Structure formats: C-alpha cells, structure tokens
Structure 1
Amino acid sequence: MITHTDIKSAYDRIKTSGTVRKSPLEYSSYLSNLTGAEVYLKCDHLQPTGSFKVRGATNKLLMLSNEDKARGVVTASSGNHGMATALGASKLGIQATIYVPENASGTKLDGIKAMGATVIKVPGDCLLAEKTARDVARETQKPYISPYNDEDVIMGQGTVGVEIHDDCPDVSAVFASVGGGGLIGGTGLYLKGIGSNTEIIGAWPEVAQSMNLCLEKGEIYEPTEQETLSDGTAGGVEEGALTFPICQTVLDKRLTVTEDEIRHAMRLIADKERWMIEGAAGVAVAAFLKTATQFQGKKVAIILCGRNITLEKFLSAVS
C-alpha cells in the first residue's frame, strides 16, 4: 500500500521538474459569504496542461529507468492524461505515443501533438484505444503510462494533498470529483496517513458514477453510464484497479450531483471567480454547494481539477 511518505517523496521529486506547479489554494470570498463556510479553491486547473493529471504522469516518467526512458512510453487518452504524458515526456526527452479513439476532439489532439507526442487514432472507442495501447506496450516492451492504475501515478496525484495541508493544515473537508480514483485516492492517503481529521468527500455525476456504484456493490463491475458534462471522470473502472481498495479506505462521504447542478457550478465559478472550468471541476463545486450547510464555520477545500473544455461546449453548458 502507498504511504504518505511515498507521496511526500513524489512531491519532492516533481516540484523541481519544471513541469508541475504548486497550484494556489485561493480563498473564495463569494462562496464563503454564500455558505457560511471558509471556502478555498485548489486551483489545479492552472497547471500547464490545464489539469491535475500532469502530477501523476510526471512522477511516473521521472521514476522510469534510463533504459525505459530510451525506449519511449505509450498511453491511451484523448484528454487530460494524454496531454500530461505528452508534456512530461517532452520535458524529459522521452518519445511518447498516445493512442486515441477515432472520434477524439481535434482541439485536444492538436494540444497533444503540440507537446511533441505521436498521436495514433484507433478505429473504435476509448476502451479499444486503451487495449491497443496496452498491447503495443507489451509487444514493444515500452512502459505503459496508466491514467490511474499505477502506484507511481497515484503518488503523483496525491501531491495535491501535500499542498493543501501545507497551505491549510486545519482544513475540515476536501471535495473532489472521482473518475478512476487516483486524485481522491492519493490525496486521501496522504491526509489520512499524516493523521489529519480532514473528511475526504468524493463526487460523481448522477448519470456517470461507475466507481461509486462499484464501491456500493463492493466489487468492480461495469455499470451503464450516460453522457455527462463531466467527461473527464466518465468511464468504467479497470478490473483489479489499485484505486478501488484505496477509495474504499479513504472516502468518508460519496455524493452525486445532477447535470443541472454541474452547469450551475460551472456558471458560478465563471461569474464570481472568473475561471472557465471543465465539467469534472464543476462536479466538486456542485457537491459542496449541495452539502454546504454541514460546513458552516469550517474550512473547506474544493479541488478544481481541470479547465480543458472548448469555449463552444462551455457556453452551451452554462447558457
């Protein structure tokens, strides 16, 4: 099991990488006045790739042997993880190949290519792109960089917890959206590991809550999901995912929010904080707003996990 010491080591490793920033923990006057809580926004949407994913990918890449770095790396992602791997690899002089589904957004693919990675389209969906990438990695003996099912990646994502604790050691609760579970799992492991009493609260869209339903059932399976604004958290959980038992251990509360609640949260952050955030970040804000009365007089951190949404999609969501 990953320890808080492992995560602190990951933090010390990535903070000098030139790829990952210590993101600000910004006090929100508006949300604090609105709810009676003392609300802080953990601004990982301000990372160079627009997402927290750069933490885990960078830590994994830094921990590769020289031989593995020379071989190059492989992953599958048309979004935040793909951009994170591409940027981290380019900084280290590692060739990265990113497999993407054929219907991947052209804007996101342009972003990945601009960071120096090779992009290969797979005629199929995200699952087929991932299977193809894993097969190629195995056949070519190149490291596969998982978006969440890897201890080194989870350690990197958990460095969010290090920064939150450094800036606000008496925070009562941390809210984060949950996809594969690396962000909330790593953050929770760190905060619990150092003896913090901080509540770890995971949030999902009602229409796409695979990890939540797996946790309810006590086993990994493939629940049906519908389309959601929170595309960054959508998708199933890998069989044998390391994050599943971690989430079982560290999550104190699990919440779901509607698409309208996500839209409202995205609009609120744009209007009051002047930031355009993606749906996954909106999920965490919406979950806090839904339960804000429970945190009056307490310090709360909400992780804004990403900003990678097109202007057209954002305007359509919040209009």
Structure 2
Amino acid sequence: MLELDDILEARERVRETSRHTPLEYSHTYSSMTGADVHLKLENFQRTGAFKIRGATNRIATLSEDQREAGVVTASAGNHAQGVALAATRQGVDAKIVMPEHAPISKVKATRNYGAEVVLEGSDYNEAAERAHEIEREEGRTYLHAFDDEDVMAGQGTIGLEILDDCPEVETVVVPIGGGGLISGIATAIKGKKPDARVIGVQAEGASSAAPSLEKGERVTLEGVDTIADGIATRSVGERTFPHIQERVDEVVTVSDPEIAMAIVHLLERSKTVVEGAGAVALAAVLFEKFDYDEGETIVPALCGGNIDLNTLTNVIVRGLVETGRYLKIRTVLSDQPGALEDLLEIFTAHQANIYAIHHDRTSRGVELNDTEVEIELEMRGPDHVEEFLADLREEGYDVDVLV
C-alpha cells in the first residue's frame, strides 16, 4: 500500500516539472450549495491536467537501462501528454498508444510534447493491449496510466497542496477513472488529516468503482459511454482498488447532463475551462450526490482542462438545453402569407429570441398546402420554456420539441 512518505518523496521529484496549482474560494458555488466551496484548479497544470505529476515521478525512478530502452504507455489523452512532456524533459524516448477516437487536440498536443503517437483501439483498454505488445516487441518500460504506486504517489502531491492551501478542509471530492488520482490524494489526505472525508466521483456511463466496492472485488464493465473521456475506463486498477476500499469514504456517480451543466457553470460563472473528467467533482457537489452540512469546507478537484473544441460546443448546447436557455422546436404552418407572422407574434409576446428558422415544404407527412418549420430559440429558463410551449399549444399549434 502507498503511504504518506511515498507522496512526500514524490513531491521533491516533481517540484521542478509540475506547478503548485491554485486553490480558490468560490462565492458562486458556496452560495448555490450552502457549503464553503474551494476549487482546486488543476486544469491550470502544465499539459492541462494532473497527469504530469505521476508521469514525472515514475520516469524519475527508471534505471539507466530502462531510460535507454525508452517507455511506452496507453492513454485517452491526459496521461499521454504528461508522459510525453515528462519523458522529453528527462531525455527519455516515449511511444504512446491512444484510442482511435481520442480528441484531436490531445493527439496533437502529445505529439508536440515530443512523443511518437500510435492510434489504435476503440477505447483505453484496447489501446493498452497494443501498448503492451510494443512493450514486449521493443523492450520498453510500460508506464501505466494509474495502476502504479509511483504514478499514484505523484498524483497524491495534489492532496498535499490542498492541505497546504486549505488546512481547514473537511471534504475533498475527486474524480475516479482507473483510481490512480484518488488513491494518491486519499493517501495524502488521510495520512495528514484522518478526519477529512474523501469522496470519489464517476460518470454514470463508466461507473465501475461503486459496484466493485459493493461486491468486494473489481468489476469490469463491458463498455463505457460518457463525455468524460478522461475517466472512461472499464474498471479500476488492481493496485488502486485496495486504496479506494480503505481510504475513500464514499463513491457517487453523475450523469452526462449534470457534467455538461457543471462545465457550463464553470465557463459562465468562474471563467474557467474544464473537460468532462474535470467537471465531475463539482457536479457531484452541485447536484448533492452526497450529504454535506451547511458551511462545510469542500474542495472539488478540477483535474483537467483539455476539452476538444467540438466536444465543448456540444456540451455548451447541452448545458443550455438542460438549463432551459436553448430550445429547438418543429411545427407545421399553412403555406400562405401571414402564417409565419402570426406564429412570431407569440414569440414576441414571450420575448423568445430567434437564432434560426428553417422552412421545409417537401417534408414527408406534410400536406401540399402546408410547410414544416424548425426554429431555434434563446430562452430564459425552464419556466419560460414551459409557459411558451403551453401558449403555443393553446393557440392550436402542434409543437414537437427537438432539443
């Protein structure tokens, strides 16, 4: 088992490569939740995520022969970038296998940090299989993304920083993918402040930790499906699982819509960008996935900010939909002058702002004298949407909500 001394040693190894990231009090989220919320902004870390810590610590422990042979790893993106930069700075050749559908931004960044990238597999597990083949074929050292004590120790330096900057912390909320991050942080927190809670968070579409804890042994999912690609693993690690069992107080899950809303909140209210995995901890707090007291000091770890721009666009739209600020509807109008004007009078009465209108006279199922209309609207919230739709239907319009 990893111990506090391992993390204290790792702090000395990673000090020059990783940043001591900010920990900031959030008036916004404290007001929203009633708790005393401080954000650990690890999305400001070099390479945009915490992975540089574990990668730096692991590479620093390689023997000379291992350094000569080089390293190989598998990653959905953040570990790839961390290994690439850490290896380049320490003069070690790195080859990294990423899933075929890894975000383009993460693939480009990994190459820019100096590593050779191999794209193979539909997810992390299949990429890892290819990486182990390269390990055997080329004699490289495999650097596991999470299931390695030196990697866990490096990630655990975040816990030391949280305690340095917020010694009054009562609850630390941490994402779980394979479990390396939470194993390290929980070891640091429990080692220095045993009474503090550590809450783990997974995406609903990649939730293996909670069933594993319930069963008492690791559960492997058949597949994963979540916007939080950084924690989209089928199972927690063999080495990380005992740390989660012993040192994590509770594991909860959040849905993709809740993750999207947390991302949008952070963009709009905190002016900070996070990826899906970086938002799950805050989502768990905002949607009260675990019990906490009024005024309790809570630190959600925003573990990464490397979100693909296409994904970010979709997430923003999804977040606006969930908060009742974007609406897309379809209805059928009589294809004659004044029909659209009559419809728009209702929009004006409700102050619904139009993004776009699309007419389609050729749609199947629409009578020859009718036209189908799709309209995208900016709204002011769920109540506004409900009142608007009710008024449209009361006026005789058959309305389908598309988004």
Q: Same fold (TM over 0.5)?
A: yes
For residues 55-94 of structure 1, the C-alpha deviation after alignment (integer angstroms, 9 at most, x for no partner) is 1111101111222112111111241011110010111111
For residues 205-225 of structure 1, the C-alpha deviation after alignment (integer angstroms, 9 at most, x for no partner) is 222201222222111132244
Letter in 1 for 2:249: D
Alignment of 1:158-177 (within 5 A): 158-177=156-175
For residues 112-143 of structure 1, the C-alpha deviation after alignment (integer angstroms, 9 at most, x for no partner) is 11011011233654323211211221343321
Aligned mates of 2:151, 2:203 — CA distance in 1: 24
Letter in 1 for 2:273: M
Report if aligned partners of 1:35, 1:293 keep a CA contact under 8 Å in 2: no
Structure 1 residue runs of 5 or longer lacking an equivalent are none
Q: Determine whether 1:235 maps to 2:233.
A: yes
Report if aligned partners of 1:101, 1:126 keep a CA contact under 8 Å in 2: yes
Q: Determine whether 1:247 maps to 2:273.
A: no
Equivalent residue, structure 2, for 1:205: 203
Equivalent residue, structure 1, for 2:393: none
Equivalent residue, structure 1, for 2:71: 73
SS in 1 for 2:253: strand
Report if aligned partners of 1:76, 1:100 keep a CA contact under 8 Å in 2: yes
SS in 2 for 1:56: helix
Equivalent residue, structure 2, for 1:277: 274
Aligned mates of 1:212, 1:227 — CA distance in 2: 17
Q: Determine whether 1:50 maps to 2:13.
A: no
Displacement after TM superposition at 1:105 (Å): 3.2
Deviates more, 1:284-293 or 1:214-223: 284-293
Task: Could you list the structure 1 runs, at least 4 aligned residues long, displaced by more than 4 angstroms after superposition.
Answer: none
Deviates more, 1:308-317 or 1:132-141: 132-141
Letter in 1 for 2:211: L
SS in 2 for 1:308: coil
SS in 2 for 1:255: strand
Aligned mates of 2:8, 2:227 — CA distance in 1: 33
TM-score when scaled to structure 2? 0.75
Q: Determine whether 1:288 maps to 2:276.
A: no
Alignment of 1:16-31 (within 5 A): 16=16, 19-31=17-29
Aligned mates of 1:233, 1:125 — CA distance in 2: 11
Which structure is larger by alpha-carbon Rg, 1 or 2? 2
Displacement after TM superposition at 1:295 (Å): 3.1
SS in 1 for 2:292: helix
TM-aligned CA distance change 1:127 to 1:226, over 3 Å:
closer
Deviates more, 1:72-81 or 1:284-293: 284-293
Equivalent residue, structure 2, for 1:156: 154
Q: Determine whether 1:7 maps to 2:4.
A: no
Displacement after TM superposition at 1:308 (Å): 0.9
Structure 2 residue runs of 5 or longer lacking an equivalent are 318-403
Percent identity, aligned pairs only, is 40
Deviates more, 1:117-126 or 1:185-194: 117-126
Equivalent residue, structure 2, for 1:120: 118
For residues 23-76 of structure 1, the C-alpha deviation after alignment (integer angstroms, 9 at most, x for no partner) is 011111111122222111101111111111111111101111222112111111
Aligned mates of 1:124, 1:204 — CA distance in 2: 20
Aligned mates of 1:108, 1:299 — CA distance in 2: 33
TM-score when scaled to structure 1? 0.94
For residues 206-264 of structure 1, the C-alpha deviation after alignment (integer angstroms, 9 at most, x for no partner) is 222012222221111322444211111112126x6100111001111111112221111
SS in 1 for 2:295: coil
Which residue of 244, 257, 261 corresponds with 1:260?
Answer: 257
Aligned mates of 2:216, 2:121 — CA distance in 1: 34
SS in 2 for 1:186: helix
Q: Provide the alpha-carbon RMSD of the alignment.
A: 1.7
Displacement after TM superposition at 1:293 (Å): 6.7
Taking CA–CA contacts closer than 8 Å with sequence separation of 6 or more, which of the two structures ends up with the larger relative contact order?
1
Deviates more, 1:190-199 or 1:145-154: 190-199
SS in 2 for 1:54: helix
Displacement after TM superposition at 1:189 (Å): 0.8
Equivalent residue, structure 1, for 2:104: 106
Displacement after TM superposition at 1:282 (Å): 1.5
Letter in 1 for 2:154: G
Equivalent residue, structure 1, for 2:94: 96
